[in-house]
Structure formats: C-alpha cells, structure tokens
Amino acid sequence: KAAKETLEKIDQNFSGYLFTNLALGAGTIYRSQFENGDWKTAKINDGDVNNKVGGEYTGYTSTIDGRDKDHEEWVGYDLGRSKEFTRLTVYPSAAGTGYAYGMPRHFIIQASDDGAAWRTVNDTYSRESGNEFPLSGYGAYNFTLEEENGGAVNARYVRLFAQNLRPKATDANYYYLQLTEMEVYNAVPQTLAEAKTAVEQALERLVVSNGTTEEDVLAAAGKVVSNVAIAVGVEDFKKT
C-alpha cells in the first residue's frame, strides 16, 4: 500500500519535477482573503506544499465574512507578462480528518490578458457541467488548460473561480476557498533543449524538506524520470 501511494504521488507531482512553476514569485490576485498566524496569502505560491500547522495544511484562505453561506470566490496570479501554460496544479487545504474541504465543489479555471476580460480554459467541474469535484484527501490535483482552439493558453493572468464552495465539516460547516499551494506549468516543452533546461531548473529546486523516507523516494524518482526524459528525447518521452 505504501509503495502504491508513493507511486501515485510521483505521478501527481510529476510536473513539479520536470517543468518550471510559473506561479513562483507571481503576484497574487483574489476576490477576498483573510490572514492570521496560520493563514497567509503568500503561502499559496511559496513553493512549499507542506505548510502544516497543528495537523492542518494551511495556506491561502478566503474571508471569514459571509462564511455561513455558500458563495463565489476566486484566487489566481498576475504572471507579470503574457506567458504560455497548459496546466494548473492545486493542493487544497486539508484538516485533521484528511479531507480537503478547501477545494470547491464546482469551479472553472480562467485566463485573461488584462485582468478584466476573462475566458474559461477548463470547465470540467463547472456548475453547468453537472460534475462535482469529489471530496478527496490532501495532494496534487492537475487540471489541463487549453484555449477554445485546443492550443496552449497564452495569457498574463490565471485564476481558479469557485462557483460553489464545500462546507468545512471541521469548522462549523463554514464555507471557504482554502488552498495550500497552486502551481502553473507549461507542461509541454517544444524542444529537447527546452526540456533539458526545464529539467536542470527542476533538479535545482529538489530539496528534501524533512528527511523522511517518502520524501527521499519522491526526490529520487523525480531525478530518474527527468534523466529519462533527457535520454530518450521529448517526443519519445511523451509516448511513454
């Protein structure tokens, strides 16, 4: 079971080992926020997916005002300039029960060139689709992003727009948007040279934060798949 869970985490976190997280250092934008000693908006893109306080994975949280009713919230990034990207990876906050109540039931992912006019680039779990994101445990959840023509997204701004929040059973069933980390990737390098550069940057960021066996395994696995990508070339690696 432990080996299976480790392999699943390797798959979930694969983007983080191979590609550059465009969200690192980006400006954070949001509909609302709340901060105290445990919850800080800056945590959402600090590169630390293990922001744990008192048994709960913390990070960004929406306001405590109006939390007694379901409502819309959103959080995202100003990337500074227009950039190409194809994937959003979300680590929703999870409390002592292990359930990620911070992840909305229904949401869309949107992109914008000016921060005012938004277009939807993923609507898999939109309210209109009828698909509800299942209540799950803590971990990385990957969402493919694409323009209407099916190509990679090219935009300066990106956000996760929560249409329906999930009541937090561990906190009086209040409604929040709570994310520990949210990453943005262009997960398809176009050339082997670009892939090699992305791999080198990723390896530089591989830091074993707490020395646990699982972390060591994940780091080693990341290096292995990265080296394989370089050895076989991008196109062949995509087929594996």
Average pLDDT estimate for 59-84: 97
Yes or no: say if 161 and 88 are a contact pair by the CB < 8 Å rule: no
> What span, in angstroms and rounded, lies between the C-alpha atoms of 118 and 116?
6
Extended strands (E) in the chain: 27-30, 52-53, 56-57, 60-61, 73-85, 87-92, 106-112, 118-122, 141-144, 153-164, 166-168, 174-176, 178-185
Among the residue ranges 46-50, 68-72, 73-77, 164-168, the one predicted with the least confidence is 46-50
Rounded mean pLDDT, 8-37: 79
Ranking 16-30, 102-116, 153-167, 174-188 by mean pLDDT, the lowest is: 16-30
If phi > 0 it is left, if psi is from -120 to 50 it is alpha, else beta; for residue 193 that is alpha
* DSSP annotation of 99: B
197: confidence class by pLDDT, cuts 50, 70, 90: low
Position 20 confidence tier, pLDDT thresholds 50, 70, 90: confident
What is the sign, positive or negative, of the torsion defined by CA atoms of 203, 205, 208, 214? negative
Least confident of 21-30, 87-96, 198-207, 230-239: 230-239
Q: What distance in Å separates the CA atoms of residue 16 and residue 18, rounded to the nearest whole number?
A: 6
pLDDT tens column, 38-64:
999 999 999 998 888 888 999 999 999
- Say whether pLDDT at 204 is over 90: no
The C-alpha angle with vertex 57 and arms to 68 and 103, in degrees rounded to 5, equals 50
187 vs 191, more confident: 187
Note the pLDDT of residue 39.
97
Indicate the pLDDT class of residue 240, thresholds 50, 70 and 90.
Answer: very low
| pLDDT of amino acid 41 | 98
Task: Give the residue-averaged pLDDT of 99-128.
Answer: 98
Q: Is pLDDT above 70 for 27? A: yes
Tokens 């992840």 belong to which residue?
A: 103
Q: Report pTM.
A: 0.76
Mean pLDDT of the region 104-128: 98
